[in-house]
Amino acid sequence: MTDEISLPAEMEALDNYLLSDRSPPESMDLSQLDGFLAGVIASPEPILPSEWLPVVWDGEEPQFDSEAEGKLVMSAILGRYNAISSALSEEPDTFMPLFWEAADGSPVVDDWAVGFMRAVSLRAEAWDPVLQDEDSAVLLIPIGIIAGQAIGDEDPTMRLPQEAIDDLMEDADMMLAACTVGLFNFWRNRAADGVQRKPH
């Protein structure tokens, strides 16, 4: 069981909506959404909201009590998207993912990692250069391992001994933040070197 993280009012309203009966049953929770947005922003190719927003709702149509609620929810999602984008591009040291908190106060990183890898799956082939580069592969593989464990869909080639998993999870919150910054910079540096991100 996890405790709620301390959230700004707009994000708390979004969290409440995502947990309500009005959101589609398989829609993302707040931490998974946060990882998903980070993955979309760190993507090798631009992904428009018209493509990624339906994934948030698992392809279903969200229901709102009022027009005002709909605007609040969308504003919160896009506001968090913009905040992550600004942090990664301008102040990477300030980037901090939204993780749930366990009863003992430790961060729960699984949902966030699952969300990030759902974003990766939108452009799976385009992510190949990361995995083909030894230095950058270590930025994506840990996220994939944590997500695979969370959903029971581990890649056999990424399976680690339990001791290694324990080491990985020890500082996973800081590691995931650093990995995201590294992946974002990987694509930005490739673009600067003349390897362009593909247009839509």
- pLDDT, mean over the chain: 87
Q: Tokens 């609040």 belong to which residue?
A: 72
CA distances to 24, 30, 131, 157 from 192, in Å: 40, 33, 20, 32
pLDDT greater than 90 at residue 149:
no
Task: Provide the 3-class DSSP secondary structure of residue 64.
Answer: coil
Q: Which residue has the higher pLDDT, 183 or 3?
A: 183
Give me the phi and psi of 178, to 5 degrees please.
-65, -40
pLDDT band at 7 (very low <50, low <70, confident <90, very high): confident
Distance CA 175, CA 107 (A): 12
Q: Which amino acid, residue 192?
A: A
Q: Tokens 């590294």 belong to which residue?
A: 182
How much of the chain exceeds pLDDT 70, in percent? 84
The mean pLDDT value for 177-195 works out to 88
pLDDT digits (tens, 9 = 90+) for 64-92: 999 999 999 999 999 999 999 999 999 99
Helix 67-90, helix 9-18: angle, nearest 10? 120
